[in-house]
Every structure is written in C-alpha cells, then in structure tokens.
Chains A and B, each alone.
Chain A
Amino acid sequence: MVERSQKDVWRLTPWLMIALLLVNFVLMAFDAREINSGQRVVRVWTQTTTDFVQSPVTTVSSAIANYFSSISNLRSAASENDILKQRVQELEVELQQKEELAAENTRLKGFLQLKEQSKYKVLTARIIGRDPSVWFDSSIVNRGSLDGVTVNMPVVTDGGLVGRVTAVSPLTSQVDLITRDKSGLGAVIGQIGESNALGVVNGTSKKDLLEMKYVPGNIDVQAGQSVFTTGQDGIFPPGLKVGEIVSVAQGSATTPHQILIRPAARLSSMQEVGILLYEPPARTEFEQTLPNAVKKK
C-alpha cells in the first residue's frame, strides 16, 4: 500500500474537491431539468435507495417519541381524571339530547335519499419522512408506483387537501404540500355552483398560511368562509376542502381581494394521509397545443 505524504495529500485535495463539486453540480442541473420535464429518474433512484434506511428509522423514532409522550401524558392524568368525572355527568345529559337529534337526522336523510359515498379510491399512506431542510414543504410517504401511485395524484387527510405527488419511486412517493410557494390550485370560495368567487390558491412564505389570488374585488368575501377546489387546474378533483379564510384585504371593482387562508389539514402534525387515485379528465386537443401545456412522455 502506497503511503502518501502530507504534501501529496494537500496537492491532491483541490482536485478532488473540484471533481466532487462538478459531480454535485451535474446532479443539480440534471435534477432541475427533470423537475421541469416531470420525469425525475435520478430522484426516484436516490429516493428508493434511501428508503431502505429511512423507513425503519422513522418507525423506531416514532415509537420512541410516542413512548415519551405517553409518559408525559401520565403526569397530568390525575388532575384530568377529576375534570373528566365531572364532564361525564354533563355528557350523559347531552347524550340524551343528541340521541334525539340523531334519530331526527336519520329520518331526514332517508327522506332526502342522501347516500354517503366517496367518489375516488383512497389509498392510505403513512408519512415516513419530512423534508430535512427548512426550505421545502415536502414529505415522503410509504406508497409508491407498486401501489398504483402516479405523479400529480392529490393527497388529502380527513381535514382537507394536503398536496400532490411530485415524484414516485417503487416503494415511496414525494408529496409537495400546498403551502409550498410554487404550488397552485384552482379554488372557489363557498360551494361550486353556488359561488362565483373563483381564484388561484398559492403557498406563501409563511407556514400554515395560503394566499388566494384573482378573486374579483366586487364579490362579497368574509373571514371564516370555506374554500374548495374547482377541479379546473387539471390536477385536483372538485369539491376538496382547501381551508378557511382568516383575513381579507378588501379589493375594489378594479383590484382583486387579498385573501389569506388557513389550510384545513393540519399539515405540521399529520401522520397518515390518503392518496386519491384520481386521474383528471383528458385535456382537449386545443389545450394540448397550447405552448405551456404539459406534454405527456
């Protein structure tokens, strides 16, 4: 084995550094090009490789975190017990009233012939990793192309819309959250068909806050109103709850409202999500010819 002198090492280091910088730069350029083209081959392979480490590590770390949180919960259990005993008595009274209301509700549902059914197939997925940097709002879930997940599929929780799938490997997928500033979706304030307050919801630089643009200033908009997807963006199906309006800077006849929305889904603390196996309707031939249309490979 050849022993290198300290001088040889010092002479070799700049060249090694330049080579590694070049490798990293080529990777970056390739990844940036792939983001724009929609086919992220390098990302898929690196993600697949890291998944073998990430999945078990996340499982162990969540188990440890749950164990410690259960211990801290025990400390407050005694005082909570007294409060709960009192609460049980109150609830018993409330329960009797609720039973009457439930019976009435069932009767009315039958009268209106309403059926609860989900329109899309939902694939439940567990979040196995959050973006390790502070810059990007993305998460990794434990479902991939082997489960039928494809790029651009919407991701939801029982609260509301979470984001969309941006990269898929065989076992995992990367989900970009709606709070990421590059995300955008068509939305409407109030129910579709009842309201004409249409606009575009974008992520903001602030956490847990979205911005709704292009809502005409002459439409009445109030804080507390709910915002839903319209389905016109060609990614998200219509009717998914995006969030609730928290503040409105009123516009005028010529300027749009400036609306801030709090996402309906608790994005920072979610553990499980649902991937909607939703294929958007095919675009018309005219739309395919538009210069900004995403071409299918």
Chain B
Amino acid sequence: MEGVKLTISLIVAILLQITLRNVWEPLAFIDFPLIIVVYAALQRNSIRAILFGTIAGITTDALSGGLLGANGFTKTLIAYIISEIARRVYMDNLILRIPVLAGACLLNYLVYYWLHRLLGQAPSGDVLISGAYLLIGTTTVGTLIYAFLQNFGTDKVRRKKREMFTPRRLTRRRNPIRLNK
C-alpha cells in the first residue's frame, strides 16, 4: 500500500513539475519529484528510493533543456545517501525531515550545476539567487507535502519503526504495596 501511495505521489509530482510552470512562472522553483524521492528514501526502502530517483530524474530531463540524465544522476545519489542516513538515524519526526529536505535540495542543486559545468553545458541563471529560491520553495512546499503524506499511512511507518528500532523492554515494577490482598 505504501509503495502504491508513493508511486502515485511520484507520478503526480512529475506531472505537476511539467505543468505548473505554464500556470505561474515562480512555481518552477519547487522541485516536486525531489520532495517525493526524499520522502521515499526516508521510508528506509533504499532500492525503491533509488529507482524512484532515476525514473523521476530522467523523466524531468526528457522535458528539460538540460543534459539527459543529470537529474537522474543527482536524484539517485540523493536517494541513496538519505536512505543510508535514515537507516542509521531516527528521522520519523517532521521537524527532523525539514533540514534533510533542505540539505537534499542544496546537494541536488550543486551536483546538477557541477555536472553541467563538467560537460561544458553550464546552466544559465544566477546561481545564488536561483539556488536560494529553489531551497526556500522546495523546503516549504515539501514540509507541507510531508505533513500531508504522514497523515495517510502513519500506521505503516510506525510498524516499520518498531522493526528498525526495537523499543526498550519494559519491565513491570513490582508494587510493594499490594492492595486487595
């Protein structure tokens, strides 16, 4: 169920990325596929996360003027890094996910820019300003989307959390004063 939900979310994210810039130019500063890829990576299913990263990246690249595979490369890398971090560190709290998403956005941006420079296809636009807008837009919208997604399927997350981080065994304290006896 979780997989279906994430797949649908990814498809919707890609469609939004394609269409929203037509509606209002500043909406291009939100990286919807990245938000979903990071969310998938936080679910600790690393294989699914990196496959999501590649698919979302290549689809975005196919419609972009940039190099084909650049987004695929960055998103695959980010999905792997975050899934590895999520495997080791507890990150099921929404507040903890905000810096993770911001970091992912920044890394995605830097690697994407560097790859284009490396292959002689430097992107246009002001690097600092575009980066700042992307960071703000993606992190803000991403936080809202995470809050929404968390409310649909929290039981699954909780179950997985129980498997990953076994809670301390609770020992019943003996009550020295036994009533009714």
Interface residues of A (CB under 8 A from B): 9-10, 12-14, 16-17, 20-21, 23-32, 35-36, 42-43, 46-47, 49-50, 53-54, 57-58, 61-62, 65, 127, 129-138, 140, 166, 174, 176, 179-182, 203, 205-206, 268
Contacts and interface: CB of A to CB of B under 8 A. Distances in A.
B68 A132 contact: no
Contact of B47 (A9, A129, A132): A9
Interface string B92-124: 000000000000000000001001100111011
25 contacts: A13-B47, A20-B54, A21-B76, A21-B77, A23-B72, A26-B69, A28-B119, A30-B68, A32-B119, A35-B121, A46-B62, A54-B18, A54-B63, A58-B19, A131-B64, A132-B17, A133-B64, A134-B133, A135-B65, A135-B123, A135-B124, A136-B124, A137-B124, A180-B124, A182-B124
B124 A181 contact: yes
Nearest to A4: B47
Contacts, number: 159
Most buried by A among B58, B64, B72: B64
Nearest to A34: B68
A29 B70 CA distance: 10
B130 A129 contact: no
B47 A46 contact: no
A207 B42 CA distance: 36
B62 A135 contact: no
Interface stretch (B1-9, B20-28, B143-151, B170-178): B20-28
Given A134-B29, A134-B125, A61 B57 contact: no
Contacts of A20: 50-51, 53-54, 72, 76
Interface of B: 15, 17-19, 21-23, 25, 28-29, 46-47, 50-51, 53-54, 57-73, 76-77, 80, 83, 87, 112, 115-116, 119-121, 123-126, 130, 133-134
Given A129-B18, A203-B124, 7 more contacts: A17-B50, A23-B54, A24-B58, A28-B73, A31-B68, A61-B19, A138-B64
A24 to B, nearest CB: 4
Query: Closest 8 interchain pairs by CB?
Result: A136-B65, A27-B69, A138-B65, A135-B123, A24-B73, A181-B124, A46-B62, A24-B69
B92 to A, nearest CB: 18
B126 A21 contact: no
A133 B66 contact: yes
B28 A176 contact: no
Given A31-B69, A32-B119, A62 B22 contact: yes
